[in-house]
Chains A and B, each alone.
Chain A
Amino acid sequence: MKVDLTAAGLTDEARHILQVAANLLGAYRLSARLREWDGTRCDALFVDAMDGYGRRAAESAQRRGIRVIHFGDAPAPADGAILHIPSSGPIAALVRQLQHLIVASPAVRAVAPPASNIVQMAVSPAWLGHDLAFRGGGREILMLRSSSRVLAASLSDILCCRDHFDDPAWSIEVLQVGATRPSTHHVAVSLDSFLCQAVEAVSGPLPPHAAGRWILQDWPDLGAATRQVAALRLAQALRRGPATAAELAARTDLGLDEVTRYLWALRAAGLLQSATDDSAEPAAAIAAVESTAAAPAGGVLARLARRFGLGWK
């Protein structure tokens, strides 16, 4: 599993110790990368909270829901949201703390993630299995899970709703069965692609999925999600059989955060089922069918993949 760690305001010595500890996470089958904080999303940010730049980076990361760790020997600041790991302890203890922080205890996130619309759409009993309307700012889209389509009056309405999908001021309502659809809604796109793109616009981390394995009912329609190559890989990994989020991250070499996001999108689209759910049996049977078709030799497949932008080695 890949782990993306960033650092801001650390001394050279603390940075070096953290780099060594990150490398040693390989013993736990975690491929950790440590880089300088650049304001983009990551799994955790390590700062020296006594340093001015470190504090500013911590504030910015906390606003985005990224967990922040004060990495130094000075006492932790009186901010309950920032965890403290001393930088002067034994390196083996430090590695164990990092491993525990990253994998064993996802609940240690410094900031509780907000109740995202996409999460609500996936789990709210009132919305499950229904077609929905998403409205705000004078715009409206209809999300039809029954046909896996999004309908709107214009493409700009769809793009605007996608960008505001996590805006709490915008609302979702159930569309009544048999209700007349507006005749103006003649632009249609894929619901699965829409949600996989919308979930990328959600700021901050999404909550982890409940323990247990997941199975894909049907292949998601990702035809318009041309930049979401990771979603393709995740769908294929789910096709191979039921898996937990962590297993999927290991199968695909994607970050756990990215896997979590796409799983929420696929759940919201109504395509993902719990493998322990009785109703998931037919889907499990489909996913368990291995194709009997012969694949081209590895070298040929790698050349094709490079040519078509999959970036395999």
Chain B
Amino acid sequence: MNSEPIKLVFAGPMGAGKTTAIRSIADSPPISTEMELSEGASAEKSTTTVAFDFAVVNLDDDTPLHVYGMPGQEYFSFMRRILLQGAIGVVLVLDGSVASIASDCSTWLASLRENDAPMHVVIGITKTDQAPQFSLAAVRNAIRQTRQPIPVFTFDARDTEQTTHLVRALLVSMT
């Protein structure tokens, strides 16, 4: 048995679906530091993560995969370097229903580059089912600017299979 933990980080702006995605693949409910939203609460989202989410996925030899969810708010940006330290990769979760998705993508990729040495990243875009006007073209353009072939998928963060597939893409991109 190898008990040394491995670390995977879910990053992205507030409300994109990081906690939901982590919950869909974790072996047990994530430990979350959620607080009620002081403003902007809706029927779909009334709380937000204020420190980080943490969950465990056990591998076949009982090695724990520690899954962390970064807080999305900018005033918690100091947490990013701490959470990224030693991570094998990042799942960047973006909200496909907002008009600013391309700039969100650029901002977060730049932030990840600033906070850690080069790291494997995969991008998952949520809520596109609520946005018929959503176009992947703008996000692909933003990725091309980085000159890194980062996989980008649309996915339903509530769906275990689709979140798992996103992690598969991250692993495949490491080969």
Contact = CB atoms under 8 A, between A and B. Distances in A.
Contacts of A233: 172
Given A287-B149, A293-B120, A307-B65, A222 B135 contact: no
Contacts of B169: 219, 222, 232
Interface in A169-200: 185-190
Interface residues of A, number: 46
Contacts of B172: 232-233, 235-236, 310
Interface stretch (A77-85, A253-261, A297-305): A297-305
A219 B123 CA distance: 11
Nearest to A155: B129
How would you classify the secondary structure of chain B's contact residues: helix, strand, loop or mixed? mixed
A187 B129 contact: yes
Interface in B88-104: 88-89
Given A296-B6, A304-B59, A236 B175 contact: yes
A237 B109 CA distance: 24
Nearest to A236: B172
Interface stretch (B43-51, B68-76, B160-168): B160-168
Contact of B60 (A235, A239, A303): A303
B91 to A, nearest CB: 12
A219 B151 contact: yes
Interface string B65-86: 1000000000000000000000
Contact of B134 (A147, A235, A301, A308): A147
12 contacts: A222-B165, A223-B162, A224-B162, A226-B164, A282-B144, A294-B117, A300-B88, A304-B6, A304-B65, A304-B167, A305-B168, A306-B59
Interface of B: 6, 57-61, 63, 65, 88-89, 117-120, 124-125, 128-129, 131-132, 134-137, 140, 143-144, 147-155, 161-162, 164-169, 171-175
Given A291-B149, A293-B89, 7 more contacts: A223-B153, A232-B172, A239-B173, A286-B144, A295-B175, A306-B59, A307-B58
